[in-house]
A and B are shown apart, each in its own frame.
Chain A
Amino acid sequence: MRRIVVVGASAAGLAAAETLRREGYDGTLTLVGDEPLALYDRPPLSKQILAAEWEPERLALRTPDALAALNLDLRLGVAATGLEPADRTVELAHGSALPYDGLVIATGVRPRRLPGEGAHILRTLDDALTLRKRLTPGRRLVVVGAGFLGAEAAAVAWRLGCEVTLLEPAPVPLAHAVGMEVGKVLTNAHLERGVKLRCGVTVTEVTEDGVRLADGEVIEADEVLVAVGSLPNTEWLAGSGLTVGDGVVCDEYCAAAPNVYAAGDVARWYNPLFGTSMRIEHRTTAAEQGMAAARNLLRPEAGKPFAPVPYFWSDQYDMKIQAYGYLRGHDEVALVEGDLAERKFVAAYRTGDRVTGALAVGMPPKAIRQWRQAIATGAAWHDSVRTTVTAVES
Chain B
Amino acid sequence: MKVELEADKCVASGQCVLAAMDVFDQDDDGIAILLEEQVGDDRLDDVKEAIAVCPAAAIRLVEQ
CB < 8 Å A-B pair total: 57
Task: Give the docked Cα–Cα distance between A43 and B52 (Å).
Answer: 15
Chain B residues in 8 Å Cβ range of A63: 60
Is B11 interfacial (CB-CB < 8 Å)? yes
Closest residue of A by beta carbon distance from B54? A287
In this complex, how many residues of chain B approach chain A with their Cβ under 8 Å: the count is: 22
Within 8 A of B (CB), among A96-149: none
Chain B contacts to A: CB under 8 angstroms: 9, 11-15, 18, 26, 28-30, 45, 48-49, 52-57, 60-61
Q: How far is the CB of A308 from chain B (nearest CB, A)?
A: 10
Within 8 A of B (CB), among A185-217: none
Task: Give the docked Cα–Cα distance between A9 and B28 (Å).
Answer: 34
Is A58 interfacial (CB-CB < 8 Å)? yes
Closest residue of A by beta carbon distance from B15? A284
Q: How far is the CB of B24 from chain A (nearest CB, A)?
A: 11
Is A236 interfacial (CB-CB < 8 Å)? no
In this complex, how many residues of chain A approach chain B with their Cβ under 8 Å: the count is: 30
Contact residue among A58, A288, A315 (Cβ-Cβ distance under 8 Å from B9)? A58
Task: Give the docked Cα–Cα distance between A311 and B61 (Å).
Answer: 24
Chain A residues in 8 Å Cβ range of B45: 22
Task: Give the docked Cα–Cα distance between A58 and B11 (Å).
Answer: 14
Is A15 interfacial (CB-CB < 8 Å)? yes
**Given A61-B57, A284-B53, A287-B53, A311 and B15 contact (CB-CB distance below 8 Å):** yes
- Contact check, A313 vs B55: say whether CB atoms are below 8 A apart: yes
- Contact check, B26 vs A43: say whether CB atoms are below 8 A apart: no
Is A291 interfacial (CB-CB < 8 Å)? yes
Q: How far is the CB of A297 from chain B (nearest CB, A)?
A: 16
**Given A313-B12, A313-B13, A43 and B55 contact (CB-CB distance below 8 Å):** yes
Task: Give the docked Cα–Cα distance between A223 and B45 (Å).
Answer: 47
- Contact check, B60 vs A43: say whether CB atoms are below 8 A apart: no
**Given A15-B52, A287-B55, A313-B55, A364 and B30 contact (CB-CB distance below 8 Å):** yes
**By CB atoms of chain A within 10 A, which of B13, B29, B55 has the most?**
B55
